[in-house]
A and B are shown apart, each in its own frame.
Chain A
């Protein structure tokens, strides 16, 4: 992936198995978010392959160059580093938007409000409410999204992504700006989501969270993968230490 003359993403191969929590870490500017944007179709990668296999049907699709909404339909949903909620819509409506790609009614359904549409609408409201319950926001359903505290906004983003029924959830710095209690709740939430059968790929700078949560960790720097493995392996990897702390200079 190039931006003008800059190669933001050079070589990175990364695989996620069903039911896994995988973390992608690296110093600022390493290309982690660019990688996410390539995966979710916001950028089209200039080279490389992105493949997604649906664990239920076993069907494999190539995602390169697909529109973001199609990719979400295929079962990959994301959250954003700088929160991108629909600020002036209510909490519930934010999640209901997530249901959009799993529902079908259109103009005529909206105008005539036939039984099928009514049923679908009820299903949207119900399932959205259930998801909000999961992230513990069900008491604020009618609140405007912008009025929520920061931690709750992050949880709402996760809820919105969950509403699209993904089997792979991409979390871009979900714990950024959270206090220790909120982070604690987030860890619990991510574990719960994983137990329910979603695979998770997360970018995160909070090492404590990354080490305690992930099954495997990938480390990248300057658009390249520099290490991968279990938390223990990564922690003791000299290349990782070099990337984060700089090189040892002999005095």
Chain B
């Protein structure tokens, strides 16, 4: 069943791997005691481990090929399992209710620490959904998304510091400011696509961060702004634990709001135009879509969510400084979108939860956790490059007669 040739190749891989890792895994030099320890058993572990892994990968590919071969006979529209569930109302509604109930009970079931982590994860869900509009749906690769996040956070921090404006007032202002900056960024990059766009947005993200870091009079430089007030709750002062729960519920509300809006946007005239723009720009224009307007709307709507989350971030940590808005943040949000599945809302939600919660819960592996995390990402991208859940197009049902019923 499994070809001997592949076995040989795996053997070769394992020997090669053992050889490659020999200097770091086997030799250990103790410079104080001046002795060299030879840890030969490590080499054996590595050889066996890489051999088994390589065979597993090969088996997977062989099976995948066979499956593909047998599938060609019948062209079934392949749909991810999750989408089949989501389309059935009798599964969908209980599932949504269960998720909602879990989300609402979460702070009462788990510790404050867990609630805090979950709040962060949910914030990234919103960020991911926002970036998904730009990258996943409209196909504009944006590597400077964190800039809008920073705009939101700093608009709350500064307005709060200078004018004492409260959270609820600034929340929409922060979102709109970020959207406005999104349009500002959008104008110069309208003509760019793909790699060029990615580089310009990357530069833009860095510019915003560097401005915040160096313009001391405006943003107080690298030391940041502290003592940002927490959101008010009808004028009541909340205890520390209560305020964490309060922010948690706030974020849950924001997530629900975001899902609702983004879902509607995707299934609208505008959402279709974004998709078409991703597919073919020239054809898109020839079919009467205003490229400028559509792109700017994607940029500004994407930025809007980042602005909202930025405001929440500032109020949650009560402190902002430029170090929170490095390129790494953009990269994480982008990986959420890519890992979750471009253009798929459910995918992005799962992707955000996985990417933010995994490093937290992998703490048991102590210093290996980032390594394990990286490995999971690499494996994910090799075996499922389309993301956790790929986007499917909406289906329409028609009766034979002209009257239509969109499902």
Contacts and interface: CB of A to CB of B under 8 A. Distances in A.
A88 B297 CA distance: 22
A89 B279 CA distance: 8
Contacts of B282: 42, 68, 80, 84
A103 B289 CA distance: 11
B369 interface: no
Given A97-B276, A122-B404, A129-B404, A110 B271 contact: yes
Contacts of B291: 69
Interface string A90-124: 10110011101111011101110100010011101
Interface in B266-289: 267-273, 275-276, 279-280, 282-289
B287 A100 contact: yes
Given A96-B272, A101-B288, A126-B404, A107 B398 contact: no
Given A78-B286, A138-B398, A142-B396, A111 B264 contact: yes
A120 B288 CA distance: 17
A68 B261 CA distance: 30
Given A97-B289, A110-B265, A121 B406 contact: yes
Interface string B176-198: 00000000000000000000000
Given A100-B273, A100-B287, A110-B268, A122 B279 contact: no
Contacts of A141: 396, 398
Interface string B67-87: 000000001010000000000
Interface string B248-265: 000000000000010011
Contacts of B265: 107, 110-111
Interface in A143-161: 144, 147, 160-161
A125 B406 contact: yes
Contacts of A100: 269, 272-273, 276, 287-289
Given A68-B286, A86-B283, A100-B272, A110 B404 contact: no
A73 B288 contact: yes
A42 B396 contact: no
Interface in B315-342: none
Nearest to B268: A110
A107 B301 CA distance: 9
A138 B272 CA distance: 20
Nearest to A163: B287
Contact of A129 (B280, B284, B394, B402): B402
Interface residues of A, number: 52
Nearest to A147: B75
B6 interface: no
A126 B402 CA distance: 7
A67 interface: yes
B108 interface: no
B295 to A, nearest CB: 12
Contact of A92 (B273, B297, B301, B396): B396
B180 to A, nearest CB: 15
B268 A105 contact: yes
Contact of A89 (B268, B275, B398, B406): B275
Given A92-B396, A122-B406, A85 B283 contact: yes
A93 B395 CA distance: 9
B393 interface: yes
Interface string A148-179: 00000000000011011000000000000000
B360 interface: no
A120 B297 CA distance: 21
Contact of B276 (A89, A102, A106, A107): A89
A129 B398 contact: yes
Nearest to B266: A110
Given A68-B282, A69-B288, 6 more contacts: A86-B275, A89-B275, A93-B272, A96-B272, A117-B268, A142-B393
Interface of B: 75, 77, 261, 264-265, 267-273, 275-276, 279-280, 282-291, 297, 301, 393-396, 398, 402-404, 406
24 contacts: A67-B285, A68-B285, A68-B286, A69-B285, A69-B287, A85-B279, A85-B280, A87-B279, A88-B279, A89-B393, A93-B393, A97-B289, A100-B269, A101-B287, A101-B288, A103-B269, A106-B297, A109-B268, A110-B265, A111-B264, A122-B404, A126-B402, A142-B77, A160-B287
* CB-based closest 10 A-B pairs: A101-B288, A110-B268, A72-B288, A86-B279, A84-B283, A68-B285, A142-B395, A90-B393, A97-B276, A69-B288
